Structure 1
């Protein structure tokens, strides 16, 4: 599947599927429609595709049913816009696909052909970790090899999951412009729409009207130029016009709820999952054995979490209401597996048996996940974790991982809002946020340089917090030979040979850590010219120059991960060589971080290079980017500074 189709599948809600290929939208021989020459020049600029027309209609039939119809016409300008020659429609037991129709037109707007059965395929919308799932995606493919061409799609989805309302964001890709788009929501007056508008142009806010006894909410957007992604910018979803929609009351397979507050949403979820914590007697006995003599509540939690990790595995279950309701704890105990909800519920039951209170929580997972709109209660969560309130602090547990450190959320679920599910209802709380000192990379290396400029280095790097996540994932996921290949890809040097390598995880500290130890052969690390050797003291942590900027910065600047890097590299020089030119010390202090680098000749004749870079997470206005670019450029220049060694005349 293409990236476009995979993205639709991955972001589909817990939403099944009869597909009917309807009659074509246009007839062969009809007048030209959607000629490419009709696109305004301003919409072609920086665009790979142009949405000519997109019309979304959401019709609320009742508290338990809504119908979503989409008509989309997109002109694909070049091969980089090819994904828009397809349409992917997710469906499952709760979302039935009524029809999917399409046409494709040439550059002049003449009909090439209508969608055929051979142009459609059906895929699972879930990954390999899913054992029970009905999430699927139907893909219609009208891509052409000659540009420009125009693809037209129309489809309808009937949903019995009214907890999830679509988000309207027509401009959901970079280098995509929009000529005209509309959203129309029709609903009974007893079920008024809740909505949140963000970044709408002037004159594009909601227009309310009536249609008989029904309420109508309408929006339209016109002439949106393409957005070109800039370095370190906000996610596209936070830059383009968006309308979030949500119900006031909803129903999912007979389970009714209200959604005018986080408390109500959490209450519905809690009631849906209550009375599912009973454990078999043998498991209760095992819990009693595990915590016998352990009086510290936090140590009790640790032992239970270790037991969970050793005796269960993650398998996703997404069947109808199963997208929201967990397996009973007894089922997980018997099977040894469950999805995020079931494993969190099981761990909660184990802790209850150990005398520790805890609560399941819904969260939006993933690095760079969109922030919860705290003032607009709605369901955009995709994961469940466990919260264990303690007297001094709170412990958060990721119950789906057999390898994660106790209490660590990291980039997957850390630093964001979660909905705590309590008997009193839902409560928005924040998961742990990690600082620059939590996300560390401390490196020490010894490098021996010979008279020909060849080097041999022993390197020890300790990474913690978010800086250890990729390495920890590599250790648990890859065999030894693949680990070595992975290490090569991380090295910024060409021609280097890894002679020895090892990695070790450590979960004893406040943050999980990975220690990497490498022995490297560095052929021609120092370039030789006559009696001189030229080398860059910064061995493995060089910041590349900033990307070239074209025109004035448009979008805000985002620094997503706070971190601290500290390097100490000691060089042993070849016999007879002495430093002739040593890089000057550099110190930088800015709002974007601090940087220090120094190269020193030590009393024993060795040369020691030290570097420390600490940067925060944060957002800055577009006008601040020039100052950040200067900071970035100065670091890059300092990282490339050279040490010159000279051998006396013989």
Structure 2
């Protein structure tokens, strides 16, 4: 699948800025004084004018034009002064123009064609990619100012129609934005409206043989950033569009359902799973005598991981059509489509049926109610034919290190489009909840008479909780791993005496084991004859900041997990606990929490903390109760044990 390109800001900051030329004599436009004052509240930038038009010329060609003027109020909004327009074999940029205005609306600078810089958009892992960008940068040192860009893109890839998102970020207000689609009557537009203000629904009309659809919004105040809020795409207006029919480089398809999209993709890649006889024989030998179906799949998957590597290849129709399996067998590399297709062919050689599945990786789940091309990755789905009850193995074929039958945060907990001979079928990838996403920590803390301490800590992370640490283990050397771990430890004064990171024992979901030996100078400095020790060593939660005004967004808790900490505190014989914090137990719809400290038979104190959070959504009116839940956790996490020294 075609990769997501760098943002305009990231790309231009990497490459430098484009030059521009001063403009004189132009009439004032976009004066800041003319902007409604309410649009400046909580905003870093204000869209003054946004005009987006999509013209469907035929089943195989579209033209998109954009004109957008943005007033940038401060440095945090400066990304809007940059623009990158992407193109490739299937998309051509007709023009890119730009002008910058001062606060009074006087034109300061204007881009010339020679000022627009053209870049190959290499992502660092593509063997071949035709993706490029035309980039401009009109950032100014003095605020506020306004930047206007205009550009046109002619596309021979109408599988993707334009979508309209007039307010794609927080802290961005919109004075006026419009979207217009013109299409032949025999190619009616499919669209979905989301979060539109009253009176902003589509206005449809007919102009000769053309259908015209129009939308417009105005005076949208900035959406403030709020903790545990939905993505901004769930809060602001949008119109998603898609074709009913399309043609890409001679390959015709219909897009009226998930079934038809899957049918087109399946047919595009049909017949590309033939393997050389030598590979077939090798796979037959590999699984010979193995009767367990899951074990046979694992052997084939491990063969794939040991003999291939991921390299992206994105040229024209190659964004959707795979290289043949024989090519991967000969070269040992491929993109996500090619490696998944190759693994499918290997399994077929082992008499196991599997299906490629399109998925949107590393992004929010697709809009299941709006069939359209929303995918950027391919994985493999393997139904178990011999299982006692319906079961499925999922394989990430682009990684040499991803565990067998594990999708993780990259492709788990979402929908995928299964590509079958009869067309596409929406299915769910594996879900990982609190039972799978665990962090279990055990530590022994030894405090001396001077208040210094050492700690021995073993942390086991499973499921989504281990994803980041698995990446560290496989991509960095131990010294860099140690540095990354040190950077996130919530301790003011420490040094790491020993460190190791390693995979845990094989299980249904993978795990990583982190072992630490810490030196903690001045951990619990004496105060007279008393010593105050924080029992919660590494897992303190902060309370939420006070809300200014009324909460605007609902509460979305989208990460389920279960944390468990057991900390044993060892002190010299001359120190005895004077007071212990009371046990705390919280059971709410937001989650559950408990903590308690008890004295063991040998005089050691044992602190046990447990926190379990679900995936759940709550109304914004529940926010005060959620804040109180977090406040109680924070207070319990700060509790200290008071020891008193025996004077004798």
Calculate the TM-score normalised by the size of structure 1: 0.95
| 1:140 is aligned to 2:136 | yes
The alignment of Structure 1 onto Structure 2 pairs a total of residues equal to: 634
Question: In the TM superposition, what are the counterparts of 1:277-426 in structure 2 within 5 Å?
Answer: 277-366=273-362, 369-390=363-384, 391=387, 392=389, 393-426=391-424
| 1:272 is aligned to 2:275 | no
1:7 deviates by 2.6
Aligned to 1:629: 627
CA distance in 1, matches of 2:72, 2:228: 27
1:546 deviates by 1.3
Query: Of residues 84, 87, 90 in structure 2, which corresponds to 1:88?
Result: 84
1:527 deviates by 2.5
The alignment partner of 2:516 has SS state of strand
Comparing 492-501 with 543-552, which one deviates more in the overlay? Answer: 543-552
The alignment partner of 1:185 has SS state of strand
The alignment partner of 1:216 has SS state of strand
Cα distance change of structure 1 residues 133 and 405 upon mapping to structure 2, 3 Å threshold? same
1:572 deviates by 1.0
Query: Of residues 428, 431, 434 in structure 1, which corresponds to 2:429?
Result: 431
CA distance in 2, matches of 1:124, 1:452: 61
Q: Once the two structures are superposed, what CA deviation does each residue of 1:70-113 show, in whole Å capped at 9, x if it has no partner?
A: 00011111111111111111111111111001111111111112
1:9 deviates by 9.3
CA distance in 2, matches of 1:213, 1:126: 42
CA distance in 1, matches of 2:90, 2:233: 26
1:10 deviates by 9.6
Query: Of residues 211, 214, 218 in structure 2, which corresponds to 1:215?
Result: 211
Comparing 187-196 with 167-176, which one deviates more in the overlay? Answer: 167-176
User: Does the CA-based 8 Å contact 2:9-2:82 persist in structure 1?
Assistant: no
Aligned to 1:74: 70
Q: Once the two structures are superposed, what CA deviation does each residue of 1:467-507 show, in whole Å capped at 9, x if it has no partner?
A: 00111100011112101101101211021111001111136
User: Does the CA-based 8 Å contact 1:5-1:88 persist in structure 2?
Assistant: no
User: Does the CA-based 8 Å contact 1:386-1:397 persist in structure 2?
Assistant: yes
| 1:189 is aligned to 2:185 | yes
CA distance in 2, matches of 1:616, 1:365: 22
| 1:245 is aligned to 2:241 | yes
The alignment partner of 1:561 has SS state of coil
User: Does the CA-based 8 Å contact 1:5-1:139 persist in structure 2?
Assistant: no
Q: Once the two structures are superposed, what CA deviation does each residue of 1:483-537 show, in whole Å capped at 9, x if it has no partner?
A: 1101101211021111001111136101100011111111111131011110100
Q: Once the two structures are superposed, what CA deviation does each residue of 1:591-646 show, in whole Å capped at 9, x if it has no partner?
A: 01110100111111100000000000111111111111111111111011000001
Q: Once the two structures are superposed, what CA deviation does each residue of 1:393-452 show, in whole Å capped at 9, x if it has no partner?
A: 101110001000100011110111100000000000000111101000001111111001
CA distance in 2, matches of 1:10, 1:561: 28
CA distance in 1, matches of 2:8, 2:303: 36
CA distance in 1, matches of 2:462, 2:375: 27
1:116 deviates by 2.7
CA distance in 2, matches of 1:373, 1:474: 32
- For the aligned residue pairs, the C-alpha RMSD in angstroms reads 1.7
User: Does the CA-based 8 Å contact 1:199-1:242 persist in structure 2?
Assistant: yes
CA distance in 2, matches of 1:198, 1:91: 28
User: Does the CA-based 8 Å contact 1:465-1:512 persist in structure 2?
Assistant: yes
Aligned to 1:112: 108
User: Does the CA-based 8 Å contact 1:406-1:507 persist in structure 2?
Assistant: no
User: Does the CA-based 8 Å contact 2:581-2:639 persist in structure 1?
Assistant: yes
CA distance in 2, matches of 1:550, 1:505: 45
1:380 deviates by 1.1
Q: Once the two structures are superposed, what CA deviation does each residue of 1:21-73 show, in whole Å capped at 9, x if it has no partner?
A: 9x99x973132111111110110111111110000010000000000000001
CA distance in 2, matches of 1:101, 1:409: 43
Comparing 520-529 with 606-615, which one deviates more in the overlay? Answer: 520-529
The alignment partner of 2:7 has SS state of helix
Aligned to 1:33: 29
| 1:255 is aligned to 2:251 | yes
1:123 deviates by 3.1
Cα distance change of structure 1 residues 5 and 88 upon mapping to structure 2, 3 Å threshold? farther
CA distance in 1, matches of 2:429, 2:26: 58
User: Does the CA-based 8 Å contact 1:395-1:407 persist in structure 2?
Assistant: yes
Aligned to 2:15: none
CA distance in 1, matches of 2:186, 2:361: 34
CA distance in 2, matches of 1:33, 1:310: 61
Question: In the TM superposition, what are the counterparts of 1:133-172 in structure 2 within 5 Å?
Answer: 133-172=129-168
1:5 deviates by 8.6
Aligned to 2:494: 496
Aligned to 1:585: 583
1:119 deviates by 4.0
| 1:605 is aligned to 2:603 | yes
User: Does the CA-based 8 Å contact 1:194-1:246 persist in structure 2?
Assistant: yes
CA distance in 1, matches of 2:504, 2:460: 10
CA distance in 2, matches of 1:340, 1:437: 30
CA distance in 2, matches of 1:608, 1:364: 45
Aligned to 1:6: 6
Aligned to 1:227: 223
The alignment partner of 1:80 has SS state of helix
User: Does the CA-based 8 Å contact 1:36-1:108 persist in structure 2?
Assistant: yes
Which of structure 1's runs of 4+ aligned residues deviate more than 2 A? 4-11, 116-126
CA distance in 2, matches of 1:168, 1:385: 29
Question: In the TM superposition, what are the counterparts of 1:118-129 in structure 2 within 5 Å?
Answer: 119-129=115-125
The alignment partner of 1:73 has SS state of strand
Aligned to 1:534: 532
User: Does the CA-based 8 Å contact 1:10-1:125 persist in structure 2?
Assistant: no
Question: In the TM superposition, what are the counterparts of 1:471-490 in structure 2 within 5 Å?
Answer: 471-490=469-488
User: Does the CA-based 8 Å contact 2:54-2:181 persist in structure 1?
Assistant: yes
User: Does the CA-based 8 Å contact 2:70-2:80 persist in structure 1?
Assistant: yes
User: Does the CA-based 8 Å contact 1:183-1:218 persist in structure 2?
Assistant: yes
Question: In the TM superposition, what are the counterparts of 1:608-619 in structure 2 within 5 Å?
Answer: 608-619=606-617
Aligned to 1:16: none
1:135 deviates by 1.3
| 1:556 is aligned to 2:551 | no
